[in-house]
Each structure stands twice: as C-alpha cells, then as structure tokens.
Chains A and B, each alone.
Chain A
Amino acid sequence: MMDSGLLLEMTGISLTRGSKTLLDRISFSLAAGEKLIVLGEAGSGKDALLRVLGGFTDRSDAVSGTIRYAGSPPVAAGGRNKPSLRFAYLPNPLAQPLVPHASVAKQLTRVVARKLRAPFGSAREELRLALERLPGAVTLPLLDTKPERLDPVTIAIGLLASVSAQTPDLVLADQPFADLGPGAIKMLLEALHAEQQRLGFGLVYATGGLQPAARLGGRILVLKAGKVVEEGSAERLMSGQAHAYTRRLFEALPRLSNEPAKPRGAMRGQPLLQIHNLAFGNDERNHRDSLTFELRRGAALALVGEPGSGRRDLLRLMLGFDSAPPGRVLFDAVDLNVLSQTMAARIRRRIAFITGRDDTLDPRMTICDTVEEPLRAHLNLTGELVAGYRDAALKRVGLASHDGRLRVAALSAFDKRRLQVARAIVGAPLLVVVDEPLKGLDGFAQAILREVLIDFRTTQGTAFLVVTADLTIAQALAETAMVFDAGKLVERGSIAHLVHAPKQDATKALIDAATLTSLSSETGSV
C-alpha cells in the first residue's frame, strides 16, 4: 500500500532510445506538498524523467518500470493511462511553449478551462485572480496579445499564473526560469514557492542550474548519465557531507564576495576604449544620458543590469554595430567611426567576442577552421604555426580531444561557447567583449566556462568588457562596473564597493539576486 500523503511513487523506471539508455532504474516517491529538485547536467536524464512522468514519451522510447499515483494501483510507466492526479506543466518561456499566432491570455485560459473542466469565462476569471496574486504587475489585458510582443519574464508570470489557476496536485517544472536574469529568477522562484505553500501541490523541478536547487530547497535528486548519483535534502547536499560529485557541484556555485578588491597593476595601462559624451538611453532624444568613461589596457569593466536595462544597447553603440552615435568612441586612440571600412577592420581584429548566443559562430565551419580563421585572415603564418596556435587554444578550453573536422552545428551549446573562447585566444585581442557568457548552460558547464574565462583573463592580461545580469560573473571577470536600469546608468564604481555599499535600488536588487538564500529556511521547511 502507498503511504497516506504520498502523491506518486516511481519504481525501477528505465528508458532507452535505440541503443542509448536515458534512464536507468530510477525509483523515488513524492509526498503531497513536497518539492523534488531533479538536478543534472545536459544529457543526465532529467528531461527523460519529466517525459515519463508527464506521459509524453516518444514512440521510439522503450520504457519499463511502474508508476503509482495516489489512490490508484500501479501502472506501467510510459503507458497512455491518465492518472487520477491533476497535473500541471510549467515550461520555460524561451522554449516557446505557446503558439505564435494566438493571444497569450486566450491560450493560457484554454489550458485552465480544459484542466478545470470549466467554462471559458470562469477559467479566465481564475487566471485573472492568479495573476493578481503574483508579483510583477502582469494583468490579463496585458497578456491579450501575441507571445512575440511580450518579454519572456511576463510570459513566465503568465505561465505560472496558469499553473496556479489549475489548482494542480502535481506540477512538473521543466527549467521554467532558466536564462531569465537573476532578479527575475529570484522573483519567480519566490512566487512559485509561495503558490506551492498556498496550494500544497507536489513539485518536480528539473534544472541544470544550481541556483534553483539552492533557493527552493526541498529534496534533491542528482542525476548523472541516467542514474541517481545522490538523493537528499538541499541542506545536506550543500554541506560537506555529500557525494564527491555533488559536493564538487555545489562548491562551484558562484557566491558574491564582500571582500575589497585587490589593486591590479594593469589598471594603470594606457587607455584602450575611450567613450566621450556618448548619447545613450532609450528615452526621447532630449532625455538621453551623456556617457563618458574609459577602459584601460588589461582592465575589466562590467556593464551590469537586468535584460532590457540598456547595457546591450550601449555595447552595440560603442562597438559600432549600430549607426554612428553622437559622441566619440576611441579604440586604441582611434575613432572607429571616421575610418574607412578597411581601416576599421584592421583595428577591429584586436576585438574578440564571447557571447551567450550560439549563432555567432558559423554553423557550417569545422572546429579547426573556426579557430584558424582569425589567424589566416590577419596574419601570414605557415600552416604549421597556425596548427600549433590552434591546438594550444583548443587545449586551453578543453576541446583538444574533439575531432577538429566536426561542424559547429553538431556541437553542444557548451562546446560552442568554449570554441568562441578558443577563437578569441588565438586572435590575441586587446579587448574581449564577454556578453552573458553563461546563458543557456547548465550549472556544471557554467562552472567550467567560468574557470576558462578567468584563466583567459589572468594569463593573457586582456581587457574585458563584461555584459551580464549576474554580479557573480561580473565580480569574477571585472574590477569595476556600471549598473544600468530602465535604459539609464544608475551607479558606477568598483564592484567590491558596489557590493559593500550599494546606493541604488537596482544595484541592491542585483546583489539580492546574486545572494543565495534558501526560501525554505526563510519560510520554514516544507
């Protein structure tokens, strides 16, 4: 017999696709109102586990094992039997779970109506009430538009409201807030936690990031290659008592340091990037800010702010992606906007980009060609030298064991990100623009990439311009920061000083988002 209060019990769940085993004899149970964080890197099997739980496995999947839902006899996993529980699914808005041509409000209402078996009008009212309970001031009329016109955070709030309005017994959350910015993630996790406390639903939260695991608390199931490496409370796993694999993971969890910054010699270098009276801001023309600052050789500056705060607009203006702005931008004492394209290209070769976008590398190129291209385009080197520099760069980022003939399109997001670093390394740039480098990566890959970037900066002494919403990565890669909010520069200074004594609300919010506090410990354990 299933214990009273247990919501579901999975026994010996295995899933194979072709010759690949995605899940290997997974067993666990979940009580009503309990939180289970399924933590694993890409390919660990967390997605497969959610598919089995939700009953949407592929036809080619071979599933074995049983699932027992509260009040029902055990059933074979992977079958099409409808459980007696009310399920709700919480996807990530960046995975585009909504159809593009219909209004968000209508789509969410339809889901609520179907789950509650209620008329459309009643479901809409339920959704409206759920939205009122959530933070973010998102209203139903605001959602009465197509998904493309809304920002991902607004859609995430809508999706969360839809889940709440369904009054589910069990919520399956598939990395629902990944890549939405630390502030938004914190706000959404708090909202999810509050709704879970209020409605008492069971929560299975699949994540590759460590922050949700650290914040939500509850029970954590660590998956690796389809197997459970460890299971236990968040407190235990985050302590030194955990399995070596888990311990290493949590040790790599970035934490904001409150220590004063050590002075760097490189800060005294010649000016590399000089910005004079650059008109910037998303207000009317006459309300634009005028920005003046400089970045010296070997120094690092972070442009910090939530997505949409204006930091990326500034970056595009500075680096000439957009049309020449009023004001002067000097790179290595040369105004890029007055040079011919050919001359500007010669200067630009000393700039490298490492971004969180995976489309910045040509998907048709091979690994070797991608790394070699800057060398071949700018320098007259022998094939032997080019191969030497290429291999050294690939070794430094951990891609040396990959087949160099592999196309970029065939690489994982993590490999693409490391390939960007290798391409930057061979170019021996004076300035590296690092734009949300950890976006879209699981916590495991983030920890490694963070190390690779720190190593790059330390060993080459290159100037870094870091664009991020995460103060921990800003602190790891830069000494000074400019904080942006709502299209304006609100605060600037050394990161150590900003963290120690923030003056503006936007800075405080960023620090708050980067500081890990368990929601369970704030409100009592669930």
Chain B
Amino acid sequence: MSQPPSLLSNMMRIAGWIGLSVLLVAIFLSDFLAHAPAGAIMSGAELNPPSPAHPFGTDVLGRDILSETLHGLAQTGRHAIWAAAVAIVMGGLFGAVATRLPRPLALLLRGLFRVLSAIPALLLTVVLVGLFGHNFVALAAGLAAAPLGFIRAFDHVDLRAPHTEYARATGIPGLTLLKRDLTYDFRHILGSVIARALAAVTIILSTASFLGFGAQPPARDLGLIIAAAKASYLSAWWTAFFPGLALVFFVLCARLAAGLEEGERA
C-alpha cells in the first residue's frame, strides 16, 4: 500500500504547480511580455552582456535573449501541451481501455507497448519525425512518450478485483466499469499524469530541436536557441544560460508537480 504523501512532498507539488502556472501565463502572454518580436535583429548590439536595456543580454546576431527566450518558451510550451495530450490519450487512456479488450489481444498490445517503451523516447521521436516531417514533432514526441503511460495504466487497472467480478455478475456494463476506473483513479492522479507527461515531452522536444530534428528556423524553440548559442556560449555565457535556465525551470516545475523522486523516470 502506498504511503500518504508527506507535508514536504505536498509543498513541493504545490510549488511545482505554482511554477507551471507562472510559465503558462508567460507562454500565453509571450508576445506581450517580450521586448521585441521573434527573431528581431538589432544591428550593433551583438553579444551585449546583460544590462538594464537587455536584461538577458543579446546573441551573436544582436537578438534580445529575453524576448527570444520568451518566444522559445511559448513555442516549446505549446508543443509540450499538445505532445502531453497525445501521450495521455494514446498512453494512459488507451492503456485503461486496452485492458478491456479480449485477453489475448490486450496482452499482445501490452507486449508491443513494452517493447516500444524499451526504445529511448528521443530515438523514437527522431524516427517518427523522419517518417512524418518536422511539422509533426509534437505528435511524434507525444507518441514516443505514450508507451510508458500505456504500461502504467494497463497494469494499474485490476479487472479481476472482486468488486469488478461482482459488478459484472449483476449486469453492470463494461463501459460503466471503465467509467469507474477513469472517474475514481484517473481523476485523482490526472494532475500528476499531466505534469509527468509535460516533463517527459519537454525534454524530448527540446533535445530533438537541439539536434535539429525538431522545430526549424525561423520558428523559435528553447532547444533551437541553445543550439544556436553553441558557437558563442564559451565567450558569452548568457546566450545559452538564460534559455537553458528557462528549460530547466520548466522541467523542474513539471517534475515537482508530478511528485517525481530524484532520478525517477517521467
């Protein structure tokens, strides 16, 4: 039986959700909060260190890094929300439904998803992007994160529990029993599932973009911004530091909100 969460872990979760809320506001107000439009170049302001005019400094092309970080955060965040939705529906929800399929088919699906979950999610994303193109990176990241969610949901549902057996014996339909699982189990863990999925897909999306398999210029993405700073970050630390900090903050808040332990897989 799982232990009830301690006061500290509850506080960490709350802190995580507050952080995610702040980031969500920043994502949707990014155009309003940013000093400059995405990709706007200021000639003569190349590689300026942080200053009152440019709190995060400027990059090698003279772009305001605060504005770029906000635009990148918005792009990464929107993709992450879509990808998390795909991961939850194709993973958790499908896993809960799949347990109701005829037993051999359900076990076959579980085996298939088990194999998929053993493949690194980033590798799976790269393969899917290769198949469907860069525009489908959010879908690819969501599908790549889904197998783990599928396995967790599949194993969580106990169709042989006595209360399920007795409900069936009194003619309670399978759909009602599925509704029970979704209502009582997933309602309580939905917040945790969303945060867990956000943490997983944000890392996948940013890494894919960093490696050139995700968002493509002129789109802004945190992974892409960090990748663009590869040539300058040794001499101008701020070019990679602030976008990197935003990414770390996003993932950290999602992990805290999900209640994940140190080193635990999202």
Decide: B166 and A360 in contact? CB cutoff 8 A: yes
Knowing A365-B180, A373-B176 touch, does A359 contact B161 (C-beta < 8 A)? Answer: yes
Q: How large is the interface on B (under 10, 10 to 19, 20 to 34, 35 or more residues)?
A: 10 to 19
Report if B230 contacts A (CB, 8 A): no
A106 sits at the interface (CB 8 A):
no
Does A363 reach chain B (CB closer than 8 Å)?
yes
On whether the beta carbons of A365 and B169 are closer than 8 Å, the reply is: no
CB distance from A432 to the nearest CB of B (A): 10
User: Is A345 within 8 A of B163, CB to CB?
Assistant: no
Q: How far is the CA of A361 from the CA of B170 in the complex (A)?
A: 12
Say yes or no: B171 contacts A360, CB within 8 Å. Answer: no
Interface residue B162 (Cβ < 8 Å from any Cβ of A): yes
In the bound complex, do residue A349 and residue B170 qualify as a contact, i.e. CB atoms below 8 Å apart? yes
Bound-state CA distance A387–B8 (Å) is 40
Interface string of A404-435 (1 = CB under 8 A from B): 00000000000000000000000101000000
* Interface membership of A285, Cβ < 8 A: no
Decide if A321 touches B169 in the complex (CB within 8 Å). yes
Q: Is the CB of A319 within 8 A of B169?
A: yes
Measured CA separation A374–B166 after assembly (Å)? 12
- CA distance in complex: A373, B162 (Å): 17
B185 within 8 A of A: yes
A349 to chain B, nearest CB (A): 3
Query: Within residues 346 to 369 of chain A, which ones have a CB less than 8 A from any CB in chain B?
Result: 346-353, 355, 357, 359-365
Minimum CB–CB distance for A315 against chain B, Å: 11
Which of B161, B162, B172 is close to A377, meaning CB atoms less than 8 Å apart? B172
Residues of B within 8 A of A321 (CB): 165, 169
B152 within 8 A of A: no
Nearest Cβ on chain A to B60's Cβ, whole angstroms: 56
A320 is an interface residue with CB less than 8 A from chain B: yes
B168 within 8 A of A: yes
The docked-state distance in angstroms from the alpha carbon of A289 to that of B170 is: 28
Contact (Cβ within 8 A) A378 B171:
yes
Query: Bound state CA distance, A345 and B172, in angstroms?
Result: 7
Contact B163 A359 (CB under 8 A): yes
Q: Which residues of B contact A344 (CB under 8 A)?
A: 171
* Among B164, B169, B171, B173, residue most surrounded by chain A Cβ atoms (within 10 Å): B171
Contact (Cβ within 8 A) B169 A348? yes
Question: Are A360 and B173 neighbours in the complex by a CB distance under 8 Å?
Answer: no
Contacts of A364 in B (CB 8 A): 180, 184-185
Task: Indicate whether A352 sits within 8 Å of B162 (C-beta atoms), given known contacts A364-B184, A364-B185.
Answer: no
Provided the pairs A359-B162, A360-B162 are in contact, do residues A352 and B170 lie with their beta carbons within 8 angstroms?
yes
Given A362-B180, A365-B180, A373-B176; A345-B167 close (CB under 8 Å): no
- Kindly count the residue-residue contacts between A and B in the assembled complex, taking CB atoms under 8 Å apart: 61
Contact between chains at B169 and A320 (CB < 8 Å): yes
Contact A345 B168 (CB under 8 A): yes
Contact pick for A362, options B163, B168, B171, B173, CB 8 Å:
B163
Residue-by-residue, is A114-137 near B (CB-CB < 8 Å gives 1, otherwise 0)? 000000000000000000000000
A370: nearest chain-B partner, CB-CB: B163
Q: Are B161's CB and A373's CB within 8 A? A: no
Residues in A whose Cβ lies below 8 Å from that of B164: 362
Contacts A348-B171, A353-B166, A362-B167 hold; do A377 and B176 have CB atoms under 8 A apart?
yes
User: Contact between A361 and B172 (Cβ–Cβ < 8 Å)?
Assistant: no
Chain A interface residue number, banded? 20 to 34
Q: How far is the CB of A361 from chain B (nearest CB, A)?
A: 6
How far apart sit A351 and B172, CA to CA, in the bound complex (Å)? Answer: 11
Q: Tell whether, in the assembled complex, residue B167 and residue A351 are in contact, meaning their CB atoms are under 8 Å apart.
A: no
Contact at B163–A373, with CB atoms within 8 Å? no
| B-chain residues with CB within 8 Å of residue A350 when the two chains form the complex | 171
The 8 A CB mask of B137-168 against A (1 = contact, 0 = none) is 00000000000000000000000011111111
Among A342, A357, A362, A374, point to the contact of B170 (Cβ < 8 A): A374
Contacts of B173 in A (CB 8 A): 342, 345, 377
CB-defined contacts of A373 to chain B, threshold 8 Å: 167, 172, 176
Chain A residues whose C-beta falls within 8 Å of the C-beta of B185 in the assembled complex: 364
A353 touches B172 (CB 8 A): no
Measured between beta carbons, the chain A residues less than 8 angstroms from B171 are 344-351, 377-378
Known: A357-B162, A373-B176, A377-B176. A362 touches B169 (CB 8 A): no
CB pair A374 B184 closer than 8 Å:
no
Residue of B nearest to A378 (CB): B171
Q: How far is the CA of A477 from the CA of B169 in the complex (A)?
A: 22
8 Å CB contacts to A: which residues of B23-72? none
A residues within 8 A CB of B180?
362, 364-365
- Chain B residue nearest to A376 (CB atoms) is B176
A-side contacts of B162, CB under 8 Å: 357, 359-360
CB neighbours (8 Å) of A359 from chain B are: 161-163
Chain B: CB-nearest residue to A319: B169
The answer on a CB contact under 8 Å between B170 and A348 is yes
Write out the residue numbers on chain B whose beta carbons fall within 8 Å of the beta carbon of A353: 166, 169-170
- Nearest A residue to B165, CB-CB: A321
For residue B170, which residues in chain A have a CB less than 8 angstroms away from its CB? 348-349, 351-353, 374, 427, 429
Question: How far is it, in angstroms, between the C-alpha of A30 and the C-alpha of B168 when the chains are bound?
Answer: 53
CA distance A194 to B163 in the complex (A): 42
CA distance A106 to B51 in the complex (A): 79
Given contacts A365-B180, A373-B176, contact A351 B169 (CB under 8 A): yes
Q: Are B165 and A363 in contact (CB under 8 A)?
A: no
Question: Considering the chains assembled together, what is the distance between the CA atoms of A360 and B184 in angstroms?
Answer: 16
Interface centre among B163, B170, B184 (most CB of A within 10 A): B170
Q: Which of B3-28 contact A (CB under 8 A)?
A: none
Interface positions of B from 108 to 123, Cβ below 8 Å from A: none
Contact residues in A for B184 (Cβ distance below 8 Å) = 362, 364-365
In the complex, are the beta carbons of A360 and B168 less than 8 A apart? no
Q: 4 closest pairs, A vs B, by CB? A: A349-B171, A348-B171, A364-B184, A345-B171
Known A348-B168, A355-B166, A377-B173; 17 more pairs at CB < 8 Å: A321-B169, A345-B171, A345-B172, A348-B169, A349-B170, A349-B171, A349-B172, A351-B170, A353-B166, A359-B161, A359-B162, A360-B162, A364-B184, A364-B185, A373-B176, A377-B171, A429-B170
Pick 7 A–B contacts, CB within 8 A, sort by A: A351-B170, A359-B161, A359-B162, A359-B163, A360-B162, A362-B161, A377-B176
Chain B interface (Cβ < 8 Å from any Cβ of A): 161-173, 176, 180, 184-185
